[in-house]
Structure 1
Amino acid sequence: MDNSPWGYYASYMIGAEWIDEKEALVVTTKRGIEKIDFLTMFMTCFTSDLSVEAFSDIYNIDSEAPTIYAPSLKGVLSPLVVMHFLGVVSRIRSLKKGYVHYSKNLKKVKGHIKVMTNERKNIAVKRFDRVFCDYDEYTADIPENRLIKKALLFSKRILKPIIDNHQSGTKAKIMLSKALAMFENVSECVQIREVRQIKGHKLFSEYNEAVRLAKLILQRYDYSISKTSMEEENVLPFTLDMSLLYEHYVYGLLHEAYGNRISYQYKGETGYPDFLYCSNGFRAILDTKYIPKYEASSLDNNVIRQLSGYSRDLPILKKLGYKNIDEESPVPNVPCIIIYPKDGDGIKNPFEKRELKDLCKTPLRKLLKFYKICIPLPIMDTII
């Protein structure tokens, strides 16, 4: 980095990566990885209307590299992938179907008879009530669905301690039960060679992501469901963008409280503000900053300039409801709100049953219409 000493800079990333063939770098959050309730953050992200691809940007996993010994991260990666998987599966509205080839001994002819096999299995042993047939059947019991079903059963084992002990365990159990009910008539039998052959299709984005995550879950435990109950202190190399996770977490809370009054990452001339809030009585520009120091310090000048630019951006102002505004119009005083984190305070959703304007009572000193709102990170009472 320019004008900085040589080294590895993690910024707001946590995770584990190989530096070379022998040494690995493990980075945990400054707050202590054992305290942040990642499961609640992941689940809250899926209460919003973001696409399944958007959540994939939060983290990256190198599934081909060797695992890294990182006990401090063992409670992050598995819940992250599993909750992402459940969130994607929950958005599948109907099961994909296809033709599956079967070769079976039946009581009546279906498809066509395999003469030589039927002679050996039935005629030779005087089993005349059976006939061996080859046939194709249009069914939901296709390899993609069997793969997802098997990964759901793995997920059930992985999430068992969370369901039994975590405050959000009931919600996770409901999501899992609904997903398994959808795949009730699908077999869980899938061969490893079949897994490798399963390809995505551009018309089924949810399926593509579900299949990708299912493969990752099965590969993580070597296709052996008994390994999911073991204490896993080795993790696949991965990085998790805490800044982007916090942004998605806040959006989940905002969407839960305000619904379609919130717009996410609307494109303006000067950039993409995280959120726009528009109602009949209040309009605002909101931006998340994963900077805990804002609890006791003033905003950085660059942050002030960034939001000031958004508040003069014509496409953004028109999205906020200023329909007749142009380059010659007076500049409206749009409230600019910075959202920042701190340690949890037990409040589930600070926006719930509260109007946003009621949270903006005191503007920042010497700044017009600038406000700070603290949205705490959820903290676990006990370690699972």
Structure 2
Amino acid sequence: MKSGKAVGPDDIPVEVWKCLGEAAVEFLASLFNRVLESERMPEEWRRSVLVPITMKLWERVVEARLRKVVEICEQQYGFMPRKSTTDAISALRILMEKYRDGQRELHCVFVDLEKAYDRVPREELWYCMRKSGVAEKYVRVVQDMYERSRTVVRCAVGQTEEFKVEVGLHQGSALSPFLFAMVMDQLSEEVRQESLWTMMFADDIVICSESREQVEENLERWRFALERRGMKVSGSKTEYMCVNEREGSGTVRLQGEEVKKVQEFKYLGSTVQSNGECGKEVKKRVQAGWNGWRKVWGVLCERKISARIKGKVYRTVVRPAMLYGLETVSLRKRQESELEVAELKMLRFSLGVTRLDRIRNEYIRGTAHVGCLGDKVRETRLRWFGHVQRREKLVSRVRTSD
């Protein structure tokens, strides 16, 4: 666990356990063994404004045990080891590209769930754990975490009185993301097999089919499967997009109402367009870069700070925002140039240099120790290619499918 985490009601920071070394390991092992044997956690952990650090460590121990016995489907990218948003974005982009190249229609529905974390019924959680093969002892351990749990709401004028939390997963819990992935895996076990391609990142679901009727039917299956278990699909936020659309293909309906039809969609922070272009995504990356630059402009424009430090801050804060998801995008020279122009403008502002000073771009980059952005994009793309080559799961299968 990283240092600097906010402490819970027990006021024990994570740095205490790190400083104690082996003594902390022995004490925590003894404490966690007693909790596991008794299936009862300390009462102090049940009240949460912030989750106590020691409880977070206990949750991570339980999560590690559950991951050993629970197998989550390959379509789930959220909270899974060696998977990220880039995997899901890449799989979707490659799939859309293959259908465009083959001049075939691909119908995609981006499903949004209403308050997904807060709506998970506790009984469904226990059912899904048992169905996933979790030992009864660990089911009872997790049940104890949720038993008599209380919380408060903190605001500017103080905090409310305690109240019970009787539905949904715990917010801020280290265990909740995996429990949610397990619930989604069990609830979607039957319906995802009916879809041609289904991708999930936690509660962000993409359903893809070759015909509008088929994707509409699959959407209805998903709605029924989720709502009968206490989850709810948001009709107003669910959107539909068609690749290689023919005239008169219509739109998708959900419970008799038309789903909003779009030509572009922001999927996991990356804009995908039905026509395969990436111009809007490049503009979004430039905008994200400027947003990051403005957050740290006080440091970047401070004359007393060296150019090397400014370059390091830039590479840490601004450049990742500009590069996000670009390893999955085929950039043209013009679009790559657009990114580089924006980057050089930020660097010139940071170093207090204008174009009237007639200083070459190479000197600007050398002074700030910031390499060419185009080279960095190609580097991340090659790294991503190696990652996909080593994978035998869904991303690789999409890339090699016809």
Quickly name the TM-score band, shorter chain normalised.
Answer: under 0.3
TM-score, normalised relative to structure 2: 0.25
> How does the TM-score come out when normalised to structure 1?
0.26
Which structure has greater strand proportion? 1
